[in-house]
Every structure is written in structure tokens, then in C-alpha cells.
Amino acid sequence: MNKSAQKLDVTPLVDESYCAAATQAIRCEATRLLTEGTVAAVIGYQAGRRKGTAMPTIVSSPEKAAELIFSSACVNNLALYLTKAKKEVRGKGRLAIVAKGCDMRALAGLIAESQVKRDELVIIGVACAGVYASGADRAAPLTNATIARKCRECVVHLPEGADLLAGSLPQQPMLTPLESQELARLEALTPAGRWAFWKEHFSRCVRCMACRQVCPFCYCEQCLCDRNRPQALESTPRPAGNMAWHIVRAMHLAGRCAGCAECERVCPMDIPLNLLNRKMAKELKELYGYEAGLQPQEKGPLAEYKDTDDQSFIK
Amino acid sequence: MSRIGVFICHCGENISRTVDVERVAAAARKLPGVAFAIDYKYMCSDPGQGLVKKVVVEQRLDGVVVAACSPRMHEKTFRNAVKSAGLNPFLCEMANIREHCSWVHEDREEATAKALDIVRLMVERVKKNKALQPITVPITKRSLVIGGGIAGIQAALDIADCGHQVVLVEREPSIGGHMAQLSETFPTLDCSQCIMTPKMVDVANHPNIRLYTYAEVESVDGYIGNFSITIRKKARSVIEEKCTGCGICSTKCPQKKIKSEFDCNLGSRPAIYVPFPQAVPNTPVIDRANCTWFKSGKCGVCAKVCGPGAIDYNQEDELVVEPVGAIVVATGFDLYDIGPKPADSPIDGYGEFGYGTIPDVIDGMTFERLASASGPTGGKIIRPSDGKEPKQVVFIQCVGSRAREKGISYCSKICCMYTAKHTMLYHHKVHDGQAYVFFMDARTPGKNYDEFWRRAVEEEEAVYIRGMVSRLYQKGDKVVVMGSDVLVGVQVEIEADLVVLATAVQARSGADTLAQKLGISYDKYTFYSEAHAKLKPVECATAGIYLAGACQGPKDIPDAVSQASAAAAKVMTLFARDQLEREPIVARVNERTCVACFYCKKVCPYGAVEEKEIRDRQGNLIRVVAYVNPGVCGGCGTCQATCPSKSVELDGYTDEQVMAMIDAL
Amino acid sequence: MHHSKKHAFEPKIVAFVCTWCTYAGADLAGTSRLQYPANVRVLKFPCTGRIDPVFILRAFQKGADGVLVSGCHPGDCHYMAGNLHARRRFAAFRTLIEFVGVDLDRLEFSWVSAAEGGKWVEVVTELTNRILTMGPLEEFKALEAEECWSGKLDTPELQEAYNNI
């Protein structure tokens, strides 16, 4: 590690004005929408109690709109609030929602899966330079050392298809794509090596289901893994059931996952879940040229087919 | 605890030679849930089946496993047997220990162990089997035929002759389609009108056919046996019931110079017109875009001269709903008519052939009208530019067809034959004329087809030049055709008086829109897709919808007629029963857990999945869920494998059944 | 019961097949009296489109050493496109489980038509022989036997907490 790299580590990636501009734009739009009565509520972020933190909020009066903020601490994917977390806000009328690039991809997916109607939604996109890694000190500035892994190789800093764009993107340095590097490292291992890697990780899983609860796409009323006739997956946190659960989860998200990596962020056992998601996204892009949530797609890669699909693996 | 009976067949010695059936029976007896197990020499024989029936009753069995041959062989036999003993047939399964075991393994120990495994798996499966009831769907014995060309007419007549009502919908003011425009037909050169018009009249007079012309299918609801069709009757401005077809309106109409579509713009027609003299029905229609009354509010001559008062300028489109049980789609084809490439078309045009710019470059259908005795020239072949008789005519085949780089890779099938016919018609009418044909291949499979083509070449003096034309241009009053003769290897240049392009057969424009209304699939050229290329060539994947004629792909008249009769036979087969009974292997949605992502709908090859609204007593919408129409579902189960929450289950192959088997491995 | 086992290890092979093509192909192998190893157990489905990847996973968990999924060739599907949907689904699934560390030599996909009794024999024999040389699939079995967290108590705090239990 040379000195310049060390120095780079602590250089803030964003400055105050970037957050302030985005915050200002969100407040302005939220106030307008709420005053005009265009929407019943705005789903966004407000400051948390501790310095530098942020948390999701639902604002339904113009006065409260001034509490909305945007900063690098706005980690949550708010699309979740449309499907299950706060289902009660649906049905009150149109909603506005603040969406980073990855959140936007989730919204696009949810629209394609008939969970949300586009015309019942005002999407306030934010130019997002990246958010903190889970556990990073929010009081310190966002740096190479504290930025979330998914953001290091983000391709959707600017959300596509939002109704407006809040803020503008600061100049960004190239960051080392740690997740892709890790993916490449795993791919280069033998199957036994990868098995050992995942076994170690999955064995830690306590089946708290936080990964499921936080995923915007896990909106099923009854999850496959809660089913008991037949019991498709063992529900106790034993290594065998854990392995099965994580395989099934990755399979269910294949071609849908927006890459927001919320599952990984909330995992109390630090299982690198987004590696699985990233792997599937990469494969489906290679196989079918498909990337979830980047353009309006009606079906998704695993719900359609082409006569010319690869079948080199089939005898 | 289940009470399952296991019946192990020796199949003479076919099974017992390699499988120790007594040992399998003894081991089966010890399986949990097995109340009875026995081996027998020929289980499928009368006494064998009798044994099964007897034991089902005596032992009060709630499941049966017959370990014998393949279920493809005798599943029906044993299911019927247990049914007659009072047990639901779907509680009986076959364990295939013959084709999958005794016949493919020699080692007795291995085969016996495997046979027992197979029996054990099936016992576990049967424990999870549920009694299923056959599904019956009532059938409305009326049929819709869309399209009144030769295919639609044939299908309608066949079905109507069988005693069932037919609703025939035709977009144009008259039935007849492309065939009515043709002069003579290959390979016999009989006049098209002579063989076509009697059939048209039959349609008009048939008591079982309700004819809607100048009408289109607006929407389609329902499913096999129970469709509801909304038909838009376009405003004709003529009251059909009052019109006698005397034709005085057309004669007196001051607008006479409108180009006749039927005559490929060669002749003209009035604003109130029937497309051609033998039209069925013989009721005119007002072409509102060209009628003086509709353009300026003045005129009204037709209304004044019409004795019965049939003219109604205020007529509006009318929607009619017709209940039918089956649909025959016979919408036919369009001819390729692209000159230069339009911006929004995937198909490159033939600008280099001067199509649409040089007046003496015409297409095959225009030539038909020129050659037709009832055509605008009375059958005299003259060129459009100056009315002179052409002495050198160049025919170019495969214009549009078999040109991958131009966007169409298929062969249009009919052009080789009709071009040969054109050269003959030309030779018969212009004795001193010379016909040249540029062709890639002469494709003449069909009864008496090759003989016909050879006649054109050998007896009727058509000069066939193998090669394609690279360019056409006007030079004075001639059209210069530059091409190559690849057999001789020379460049050819012909100064032609008339050039006839054998343009490709294309799907009807708007075929995709109709397909979406019907819920049927189509290929990349928007030809409709049959359910199986070889074994279901007239059925659509969507149950109750059948295909006839060129809407499925290029066809000549005999093929279109054959397929129309085949489609009619399919409809009649359906109508032979009062209700449709089908195996209850269909998908069923658990509405409690369905989250309406509609992945099932996206993957269903049958379009069997619908969106169902669940409402409370006040009628407020609670939520939307998926619903599988059992009349339409084909039973593949792709929906279940795709459903994230497993809220759709395929009866007979539920997750519970499958997993019970996997767990018993 | 005394088995005359040919090998010290008899692989357990599970085949998920569609009823219209591969099951019929296997029937044809039978009527043609072709011979193949007795290790395969066939589970019949209406269509490969019905086969959920969970089934494959579960088969491995329940002791299968090798899994075969087989259906109709493209264009032959009785349900038109079930096999084409399956093709994508399994293409995705196999990359996933390979990434998790399952050797793909243990998972075979094939198209076997109702006329290809010989191909059925070939596919099954080849897979069985391959698994025979690979040995049993220990990973899932070992996992099944493990009761709890295999991670090490690698921090002093955890160690202390554990000692206090």
C-alpha cells in the first residue's frame, strides 16, 4: 500500500454542497406535491438522532416536507415501503418516493411485476454518489474507506425514468471494484473451494430473515420457506437448511434483483449476500443480455425465452 | 394412516424373470401405509383387474400402486378398474418396473432392489395424491369464421353443412378475398370466378350462416366452447335489409373516378359501389372518404334515386355480440408492396425495381386483373402507361421472398406456379409476344404442378433465365431489365414493354392486433403459429381456435381449402359432444397467497391465466389475483415452477407429491 | 438381504424427466431391451417446465450423487414452450449452484426424444459412470449431518460468552 493510496482513502468523496443541493430539491418538490395535493405522502429520508445519520420517513403534510433530507447516510431502499413494510400508506392516493439509482431499478422491477402502478407514483430521483457501508461512522465523511461495496462499481448513479432528478453528481474518482474482484477470486477457485467459502458463511446464518424482510422483491404473502405442506426448506438455522435457503433466495431473485444490496447491509452475520446476487446478474447479462430494472421490461429473463438461447450445456 | 394396495405384476415372465416379485411384494407389505401387497401373473388380465377391484373394496384401500409396465401402456386400464371399484381413478398410480427396470437390467439383485425403490417412491406419491374430478366445459355449438376468402368460405360451408351455425365476418364489403380477383387458376387454368362465385352464393343462401361483411372483430372474450365475440359492423350508409341490389345508386353516382381497389387501381368505381359485379352480398357501401355528400354535404343523388329508401347517411358503426364455441381464423395474406424502404419497416423495399415509380412495372395481382375477362380491360393485356399491347414481358420471381437481407427469408410458395400461369395467359392472348422469367429455382411440388410448369417452358415458349435482376430503368417507352443468367454466366439486358413482379406473400397488416385480441401466437413475420408444426397444423395453441389458409403461412388454393376443411373438421369434432371433458391435470391458484406478480401469466403458453378481481360485499376491490381457466389450461406446470410463492399448483403433480418422492429416494 | 454389489460405491442417480419425450424414450429403451446401469430413479413430470430447481437441490440434499434433467428437444414440447422456459431456468440455476460449489459434473441436462431410447441409455450410462469415478457427493451429506454453527469462536468476547453458558 503506497502513501498516495493511503491519502486517497481519507479524501471525502462528496462535499456538503452536493447533499445540500439534493436535499433542497427534494424538499422543494415534496412541498409542491403535497401543497398541490398531487400526492398523499412522500416517502423519503429524515435526519436520524445521531449526527450524520438518516432514516426513512413518510411525510404527509407540506410543513413536514422541510424535514426531508438526502445524504450519503440515506442507505435504505425505500421501494420496500411500497410493497410490504408500510403497506398502509398505499391506498391513500398517489405517493411520491425518493429513489437512488438502485432504488429506481427496484421500482422498475416492481412496476413490471404489477406490484406498483407507475401512474400512482411520483418518483423523485436523486443523483447518488454512493452511500456509507454498513457500520461505517456516519459522522466522518464518505471516503474510499467508508463507501458501501455496491457503490464502488455502481452503474446507476443517475436513476433512469424518474419524474425529476434532485441534485447533481460530483466529480467521482474511479474506485477499486472490490465486489467484482471478490467475485472473480471465487470464480477462480475450485468448486470445493467455493463450497468451503459459502459453507462457512451460510453456517453462520441465524435465519433471522432480515435479508428477506428488507428485500423489495420478497413481497410474497407466503414465502416458500415458510411453507410446511410440503416443507420445501428446513426452517431451523441448521447448515443444510441455510444453504438451501440462500440458494433458493438467490434463484428467486435472479433476473429481478436491483443490486441495492440491502440484504447484505442488514445481515447481522455479515454474510456477503450481494455476491450471489451480483453473480446471477452477471450471468444473466452474459446469457441473455438482460439487466434488471434498467429499461422497462415486461417479462424478465426467466419468464421468456428465445429460440436461439444457449443450450451448449444440454446434451 | 393411508391404506394403500400394491399390486405387482409378473407380466408373464417379462418382469418376474429379472425382478423377484415375491420379494418386492413382501418388502412392500412392510412399507408404512401399505395395507396390502400381492403379486400376480398378469395384472392387466380380466382376473388381474378383478383382483385389484376386489381388494380395493375388501381392504377399503385409499390408494393403489400397480407395479407393472409403463403408465403409458396401462394407466388408463387400472384407473378405470379402481374407478369401477368406487375409488377415485387419480388415486391409482403405476410403478414402471418393466420398461424402466426388468427389461433394461440383467442382474436380478439390482433389478429387484430398483423395483422396490420404484414401488416405494410411488407409494409415497400416492399418499399425497388427491381425488380429482374430470373437468367439464359446456360448448356453445356455433362457430365464428374470421375472413371470407376461399379458406373462410370453405370452413364456413363445411361447418354449416354439418348443421351448426356459423358467424362469418369479412372486413371488406364483399366476401371472396384474393381468389375473386384472380383470372385463371393453376394448374388447370379454370376461371377463378367460375369456381368461386357459386361458393359465395352458397354462403349467402345458407340458412346456417350469418354473414357480416364490412365488419371486423372488435374483441374476443371467453375460452374454448364459450367465446363471446364483439363484432364491429362498420357503417355502410346503406340499410342492408332494405337494399334490393338494383345498382341504380352506383349508376347515378356522379363520382365515377375513384380508383378501384379490387382492380388494383386499373379501373375506377363510383363512391357508392359494390367491389365487383358478383359481390356477395350485392349491397353497396358508401366510401365516405370520397363521397361528395360526406365531403361537402351536397349531392344526395343516391338517396334520391333509391326506390326502397335504403340509403342512410347517418348510419353509425354498430357493435354486435355473438356467442360462439369455436373460432376459425382465415384472414389471409397481403402482397408485398414496398417500393423504397419506409422508415418504420423492418423490410427493405425494392426501389431498384422501380416499383411504384415506373408505371409499367406491376405486380402479379395487377396482371391477374389485366388478364381477367371481367377485369378493367375485359381481359386484354395492355400496359398501364399507354394502353399498348406489350410484346416483351419480363416476369421477375422472388420479389421479397427468399431475400434474407431484405427482411423475408421464407419462400412464398405460390409465385413459381402463378408466374408460369401468367406466361401462359400472356402467350394465349398475345401470340407474337415473348415472356421472359427471371427465377432462382422453380419450386413446383404439387399434383400436376411440375407438368404445368414444364408446359409453360416447353410448349408455351416462356424463356426462363436463372438469375436475379439487379436493376430496372425506364428508357423511352421501354423498361430495361438488367440481370444475370447464372447458368450461362452472362449478363442479360432485356428491353421490356411490361415488367411483372412476383411479389411475396406477407401476413395481413394488423394480423398482430387480431392475434392479441384472440390470444394466439404468431411468428416473426406475423403469420399465425399452429400448435405443432407437424401434428397440430390447424390448431392454435389456444384451445378452440383453428387456422385456415394463408394467415398461417403462404398457401395456394388447394392447400388453403384443405386446411379450411381440416379446421372445420376440428370444429365439428368439438361440437360432436355436448360438453368438453378433460383430464383434471390443470393448475389451480391459491388465492389466499397469490401476490399477483403474474409471472404465471407471463410464462403460460396457453394464455390460461387471467387477472381476477376479488371484491367485498359492497363491491369494493380488495385485490387482484391470478386465475387459471381450467378450460384453457394445458397442464404443463410451467406456472408452478415459476411462481415465487408457490401459489399455483398443478393438480396431479403438486409439490407435495414430488417432494414426497424425492424424500423417499 | 444380500446385495451382489458390483462396486463398493453405488451412485444414486435421480432423473427428472418429462412424460412426453424422455419418459417415452426410456420406455423405448425398455421395449428395445437395451441395458444400462440400475442406479437411476426416474421421476415423471408433465413437462420440464414443471421442474422447479428446488427439486434438484432437494434431491442432492436427500442423498442423490447425480441428477439428470431431461425433456423434449426444442420444438418438440407437447406444451409448445415449457422446455424453452426450462432451458433458461436451468441455465441460471446451474451457474448458481456451481458458484456455491457444486461440481457441475454431477448435474446433467439433456434432450431425449421419444424415439431416442439409445440416447437415454447413453446419457444415463455416461452419467452413472462419471459419478462412479467421482465418488459420492459428500458435501450435502456432511452438511445434513452438521447440527449447528460451524464457525469458530474467534473473538475473546464470544469465547468468554460461551464459557459463561
The gap from C-alpha B155 to its chain's centroid, in whole angstroms, comes to 12
Q: Chain A contacts of C144, Cβ < 8 Å?
A: 240
**Does the distance separating the beta carbons of B656 and A303 come in below 8 Å?**
no
Across B601-607, average pLDDT: 91
pLDDT at A3 (0 to 100): 41
- A187 and chain C in contact, CB less than 8 A: yes
Which of the listed residues A110, A138, A166 is the one where a domain comes to its end?
A: A166
Please provide the average confidence, as pLDDT, over all residues in chain B.
93
pLDDT for residue C4 is more than 50? no
Residue of B nearest to C46 (CA): B636
Contact pairs from chain B to chain C, CB under 8 Å: 132
pLDDT for residue A89 is more than 90? no
Across B179-189, average pLDDT: 94
A226 within some domain? yes
- Phi then psi dihedrals of residue A65, to 5 deg: -60, -25
Helix crossing, A273-288 with A178-188: angle to 10°?
A: 80
pLDDT at B222 (0 to 100): 83
**How close C33 gets to chain B, by Cα (Å)?**
5
**Does the distance separating the beta carbons of A113 and B655 come in below 8 Å?**
no
Q: Are residues B514 and B467 in the same domain?
A: no
C5 within some domain? no
Which of the listed residues A112, A140, A166 is the one where a domain comes to its end?
A: A166
Q: Chain B contacts of C22, Cβ < 8 Å?
A: none
Neighbours of C, requiring at least 3 CB pairs below 8 Å, are A, B
d(CA A117, CA A95): 11
Which residue from B363, B362, B360, B425 is spatially nearest to B387, judged by alpha carbons?
A: B360
**Does the distance separating the beta carbons of C43 and B121 come in below 8 Å?**
yes
Residue A200 burial class via C-beta count within 10 angstroms: exposed 0-12, middle 13-18, buried 19 and up: middle
pTM exceeding the 0.95 threshold for the entire prediction: no
- pLDDT tens profile A62-72: 999 999 999 99
**Does the distance separating the beta carbons of C82 and B638 come in below 8 Å?**
yes
C2 within some domain? no
B526 within some domain? yes
Q: How far apart, in Å, are the Cα atoms of A47 and each of A200, B593, C36?
A: 37, 37, 69
B137 within some domain? no
pLDDT at C153 (0 to 100): 61
Residue B396 burial class via C-beta count within 10 angstroms: exposed 0-12, middle 13-18, buried 19 and up: buried
Domain that holds residue C30: 13-163
C87 within some domain? yes
- Give which of B529, B603, B643, B645 to mutate to test A binding, by max A Cβ within 10 Å: B645
pLDDT at A1 (0 to 100): 38
Cross-strand pairs, B92: B64
**Does the distance separating the beta carbons of B592 and A221 come in below 8 Å?**
yes
pLDDT for residue C1 is more than 80? no
Give the confidence band of A86 by pLDDT, cuts at 50, 70, 90: low
Q: Chain B contacts of C42, Cβ < 8 Å?
A: 96, 100, 118
Q: Chain A contacts of C58, Cβ < 8 Å?
A: 232, 244
- Strand pairing report for B215-223 and B209-212: unpaired
Which range has the worst mean pLDDT, B33-42, B391-400, C152-161? C152-161
Which range has the worst mean pLDDT, B98-107, B329-338, B496-505? B329-338
pLDDT at A266 (0 to 100): 94
Q: Are residues A70 and A159 in the same domain?
A: yes
Helix crossing, A191-204 with C138-145: angle to 10°?
A: 20
Q: Are residues B370 and B283 in the same domain?
A: no
- C30 and chain B in contact, CB less than 8 A: yes
- Phi then psi dihedrals of residue A56, to 5 deg: -65, 150
B288 within some domain? yes
- Give which of B524, B590, B595 to mutate to test A binding, by max A Cβ within 10 Å: B595
- How many structural domains compose chain A? 2
- A198 and chain C in contact, CB less than 8 A: yes
Q: Chain B contacts of C14, Cβ < 8 Å?
A: 662, 665
> Which amino acid belongs to residue B36?
F
- What length is written for chain B? 665
Domain that holds residue A94: 3-166
pLDDT for residue B145 is more than 90? yes
Q: Are residues B317 and B237 in the same domain?
A: yes
Q: Are residues A285 and A208 in the same domain?
A: yes
Across A73-95, average pLDDT: 82
State the ipTM, two decimals: 0.91
pLDDT for residue B555 is more than 50? yes
* 8 Å CB contact between B294 and B392: no
Q: Are residues A124 and A17 in the same domain?
A: yes
> Which amino acid belongs to residue B523?
D
User: Cα angle at A26 between A21 and A27, to 5 degrees?
Assistant: 100
Residue of A nearest to B592 (CA): A221
pLDDT at B105 (0 to 100): 96
Domain that holds residue B47: 4-128
E-strand ranges in B586-656 read 587-589, 609-615, 621-628, 648-650
Q: What percent of chain C has pLDDT over 70?
A: 92
Q: Are residues B491 and B443 in the same domain?
A: yes
CATH number at residue B657: 3.30.70.20
pLDDT at A9 (0 to 100): 65
Which of the listed residues B103, B128, B153 is the one where a domain comes to its end?
A: B128
Across B172-181, average pLDDT: 96
Q: Are residues A115 and A247 in the same domain?
A: no
Q: Are residues A267 and A183 in the same domain?
A: yes
Q: Are residues A119 and A194 in the same domain?
A: no
Q: Chain C contacts of B111, Cβ < 8 Å?
A: 38
d(CA B454, CA B444): 10
B580 within some domain? no
d(CA B624, CA B368): 55
**Helix (H), strand (E) at residue B656:** helix B655-663
H-helix segments, B162-288: 192-205, 248-252
C3 within some domain? no
Q: Tell me the CB-side half-sphere exposure of residue A278, using CA atoms within 13 A.
A: 25
- pLDDT tens profile A249-297: 999 999 999 999 999 999 999 999 999 999 999 999 999 988 888 876 7
Specify the higher pLDDT residue, B429 or C80: B429
B249-254: long-range contacts, CB 8 A cutoff, minimum separation 24: B249/B284, B249/B301, B249/B302, B249/B305, B249/B306, B249/B311, B250/B274, B250/B284, B252/B301, B252/B302, B252/B305, B253/B301, B253/B302, B254/B292, B254/B299, B254/B301
DSSP state, B101?
Answer: I
The Cβ of residue A229 has, within 10 Å, a number of other Cβ atoms equal to 10
Give the confidence band of B325 by pLDDT, cuts at 50, 70, 90: very high
- Phi then psi dihedrals of residue B404, to 5 deg: -55, -40
A106 within some domain? yes
Q: Are residues A26 and A132 in the same domain?
A: yes
* 8 Å CB contact between A154 and A104: no
Q: Are residues B289 and B225 in the same domain?
A: yes
For C45, the closest of B99, B531, B637 (CB atoms) is B637
- How many structural domains compose chain B? 4
CB-based contacts of B378, cutoff 8 Å, min separation 6: none
- How many structural domains compose chain C? 1
How is residue B475 written as a grid cell?
428508357
pLDDT for residue B315 is more than 90? yes
Give the confidence band of A4 by pLDDT, cuts at 50, 70, 90: very low
**Does the distance separating the beta carbons of C47 and B637 come in below 8 Å?**
yes
Number of helices and strands in chain C (H, E): 6, 4
d(CA A167, CA A126): 6
- pLDDT tens profile B348-394: 677 778 877 888 999 999 999 999 998 999 999 999 999 999 999 99
pLDDT at A281 (0 to 100): 94
Cross-strand pairs, C68: C15, C108
* 8 Å CB contact between B250 and B284: yes
> Mapping DSSP to helix (H, G, I), strand (E, B) and coil, where does residue B273 land?
strand
**Does the distance separating the beta carbons of B603 and A113 come in below 8 Å?**
no
Q: Are residues B363 and B347 in the same domain?
A: yes
Which range has the worst mean pLDDT, B102-116, B185-199, B510-524, C148-162? C148-162
Q: Are residues B69 and B80 in the same domain?
A: yes
pLDDT at B449 (0 to 100): 96
pLDDT for residue B39 is more than 50? yes
Across B258-278, average pLDDT: 92
pLDDT for residue C154 is more than 90? no
Which range has the worst mean pLDDT, B108-112, B508-512, B556-560? B508-512
* 8 Å CB contact between B525 and B506: yes
* 8 Å CB contact between B137 and B548: no
Q: Are residues B312 and B377 in the same domain?
A: no
Instruction: Note the maximum CA span of chain A.
Output: 65
pLDDT for residue B630 is more than 70? yes
The Cβ of residue A153 has, within 10 Å, a number of other Cβ atoms equal to 16
Across C89-105, average pLDDT: 96
Query: In chain A, helix, strand, coil percent, each to 5?
Result: 40, 10, 50
Across A209-215, average pLDDT: 94
Q: Are residues A185 and A261 in the same domain?
A: yes
Q: Are residues B227 and B105 in the same domain?
A: no
Burial C17-34 (b: 16+ CB within 10 A, else e): bbbbbbbbbbbbbbeeeb
pLDDT at B514 (0 to 100): 94
Which of the listed residues A135, A166, A197 is the one where a domain comes to its end?
A: A166
- C84 and chain B in contact, CB less than 8 A: no
Residue of C nearest to A200 (CA): C151
d(CA B113, CA B105): 11
d(CA B368, CA A131): 72
The Cβ of residue B47 has, within 10 Å, a number of other Cβ atoms equal to 12
d(CA B379, CA B396): 22
Across A179-195, average pLDDT: 95
Q: Chain C contacts of A199, Cβ < 8 Å?
A: 101, 139, 143, 150
CATH number at residue C42: 3.40.50
pLDDT at B341 (0 to 100): 62
pLDDT for residue C165 is more than 80? no
**Helix (H), strand (E) at residue B76:** helix B71-84
Q: What is the 3-state secondary structure (H, E, C) of B154-196?
A: HHHHHHHHCCCEEEEECCCCCCCHHHHHCCEECCCCEEHHHHH
**Helix (H), strand (E) at residue A197:** helix A191-204
Which residue from B171, B447, B566 is spatially nearest to B334, judged by alpha carbons?
A: B171
Residue of B nearest to A232 (CA): B659
